[in-house]
Amino acid sequence: MSKKIRILLLLMPLLLLLKACGTTDTVTVVADAPRSGVTERDTLDDDDEHFQHLRIGIIDPVTNFDPLFADNLSTMRVISLIYDGLFTLNREGEPDASLVSEVEISENGREYLFKLKPDLYYHDSRAFMAGVGRRLHANDIKWAFERTAHSNVPQYASALLMNVEGYRNYFLEQREVFDRSKRVLEGVSGIEVIDRETIRFRLNREDPDFLKKLSSPYLSVYPREGVERGELGLKSTPVGTGHYQFRSAEEGTIILSLNGSENANNRSARPEVNRIDFIHASNEGELFQKFNRHEIDWIPELGPQISNQVISSDESLVSAYHNQFTLVKQEAQRLTSIFLNKNSTAQTEWLAKRLPEAGIDEIDIHGSISVDPDGLPALETEETDLQPDSEYFISFTDNLTARYALSIMNSQLLEPDASLAFFDIRISTPETSFFTSVSDSFHHSYQSKPDIPWLTIFTPIFGLNHTYIRGIEPTMVPWKIHIEPIRVQDSERRES
C-alpha cells in the first residue's frame, strides 16, 4: 500500500465527520507530515548478538557539529556520518551522488540541474516542533549554501562556491555591509529552486571540479530549524539526513547511532555498524593506551608520536605489532603550515636570521617538509650579534603535528637563547611570533592563502586498527570514513 493511500485512509474518518457537521472547511494532506521510522532494532542495544559497536579514536577535539565550523579532520569525519551533501567522494576521490538522483549539465558546462531523491527525511530531533524529522526540500540546500556567505560563520566553505553566479557579490555584501537595512541582495542568483525536488546552479565559468566541491563536508545539507531553534543550534544538536544520528557528547566521547528512518530505504548500501563512539584523549600517549587496552578499536589518523612508535622508516608496521594491529596508509595528506608573523612586535630579525639555519632534518616525522624563504621577512641589517627576546609566543593550536614540530624547533633551534610558548589566543596578534594553519590535500587546492608559510609539513594519513575490525581500506579522501564495508568481529574482540 503506497504512503499516499495509507495517509488518505487514515484521514477518511475525519473527512466523514467534517461532512456530517456541515462544515465547508477543506482538509489538506501535507507532504511534510511528521513521521518517525525509528525501530527497536536501531536503538543502542549492546546485548543484541548481532549488534555492531565500533569505537574510533580521534586526535583532534570535536567542539562544534555545525559543518561550517569544522576546523579539523576529526570533526569532518564525525559530521560526514551525520550529514549528507548533494554528492560524496568515493575511495578514488571521484564524486558519487548522495542526495541527488539525476544530474543534467548544460553543453557549455555552466548550468547544473539536480533532481533530488524522493522522500528523504531529516533525523528525528528537538529542532522540529513535533520532535520528528520533516522531509528534505530543495529550499534547504539554497538556504544552507547561502548561509556560507554570512558574516557570522567562517569562510572555509566560501571558496567552494565563489564561481556560482551572484555568490561573490552576495558574500561581499554580507561581509562588508554591516547595516542590514542597506543590503539589497536577497540571495544568490545562481542558486535557483525549481520545485521541492529540483534545484539549478549557474556558474560564471565552466568548472570540471564543481561536483567534487559539492562533496565537501562544508557543503553539507541541514534544515533551517536546526540552526535557528535552540540556543546553540547545530553546534551541539546536529541534525542531518546521514547514516548516523547524533546521540550525545560528553567527557571526550561522542556517540552516534544508526539512523533508522525512512532514509534507509533510499540508499544502496546500509552500514551494519549500529553504534559508533568517537573517543578523544588529552594526549597521544593516553589515546594509544586506550587503544592497547581495547577501549578503542580504530584510530583513522595517527598523530606524530604514535606514528614514530608504530611505523618503521619504510612506512610499514614495526615487527613488534605485526600480529596485533593493522596499519593502513591513506592516499591523502594533512597539511600543516607554520608562519613567521612579520607584524610581530617581538625581535623577529633574530628569528629571520636563525630560521634558515634550522635543522629541518631534526624534525623526525613521517612525511615531507618544505621551506619557503619568501615566508621570512626581508632583513634590514647585516648585524650578527642580534639579541633575541627571552620568549617568543605562538598562537594556540590543537594540531598535534604543529605542536610536535614547534617543540622540536624550540629544543633544536632556540634554546638556550630563547624559548617558545603558546599564547592563549587562537589568532595571530602583534604579541605572537608564529602562527599555524591546518588543511588537507582536498581543500588545499581550493583555498586561497594570502600569507606565505615559512614551513609546510605534508603528513600522510596512517590509520591503525585491531585485527578484529574488517573492511578498512585505503581512500584518497582525507576525512572520509567508508563505514559500509566495516565489520566488527565481536567474538575475536572478546578473545583479545
Euclidean distance between CA atoms 349 and 326, whole angstroms: 47
pLDDT tens per residue across all 496 residues of the chain: 444 444 343 444 444 343 444 333 333 333 454 454 444 444 566 666 689 999 999 999 999 999 999 999 999 999 999 999 999 999 999 999 999 999 999 999 999 999 999 989 999 998 898 889 999 999 999 999 999 999 999 999 999 999 999 999 999 999 999 999 999 999 999 999 999 999 999 999 999 999 999 999 999 999 999 999 866 799 999 999 999 999 999 989 999 999 976 455 455 678 999 999 999 999 999 999 999 999 999 999 999 999 999 999 899 999 999 888 999 999 999 999 999 998 888 888 888 887 876 667 667 788 888 888 888 877 666 666 678 888 999 999 999 999 999 998 888 888 888 899 998 899 999 999 999 999 999 999 898 777 889 899 999 999 999 999 999 999 999 999 999 999 999 888 877 7
Query: Under CATH, to which class is 51-278 assigned?
Result: alpha beta
pLDDT of residue 494: 77
| Sign (positive or negative) of CA dihedral 373, 379, 383, 388 | negative
pLDDT of residue 21: 41
Cβ burial of 476 (10 Å; 0-12, 13-18, 19+) is middle
Within 376-480, where are the H helices?
A: 400-409
Euclidean distance between CA atoms 203 and 206, whole angstroms: 7
Q: Which residues contact 445 (CB under 8 A, 6 or more apart)?
A: none
Q: What is the DSSP letter of 197?
A: T
| Sign (positive or negative) of CA dihedral 163, 168, 169, 171 | positive
pLDDT of residue 224: 95
Euclidean distance between CA atoms 147 and 141, whole angstroms: 10
Q: Where are the domains of the chain?
A: 1-30, 51-278, 329-462
Euclidean distance between CA atoms 114 and 85, whole angstroms: 12
Q: Which residues contact 418 (CB under 8 A, 6 or more apart)?
A: 350, 388, 389, 390, 391, 392
Euclidean distance between CA atoms 361 and 197, whole angstroms: 55
Q: What is the DSSP letter of 169?
A: H
Of 434, 439, 460, nearest in space to 449 by CA = 439
Torsion of CA 140, 146, 148, 149, to 10 degrees: -170
pLDDT of residue 363: 78
| pTM for the whole structure | 0.88
Euclidean distance between CA atoms 447 and 157, whole angstroms: 9
pLDDT of residue 8: 40
Euclidean distance between CA atoms 496 and 494, whole angstroms: 6
| Residues making up the chain, counted from first to last | 496
Euclidean distance between CA atoms 98 and 116, whole angstroms: 9
- Give Cα separations from 395 to 421, 425, 426, 466 (angstroms): 9, 6, 5, 36
Torsion of CA 452, 453, 457, 458, to 10 degrees: -10
Position 417, amino acid: D
Contact call for residues 468 and 66 (beta carbons, < 8 A): no
Cell numbers found for residue 180: 542590514
Q: What is the DSSP letter of 141?
A: H
pLDDT of residue 265: 47
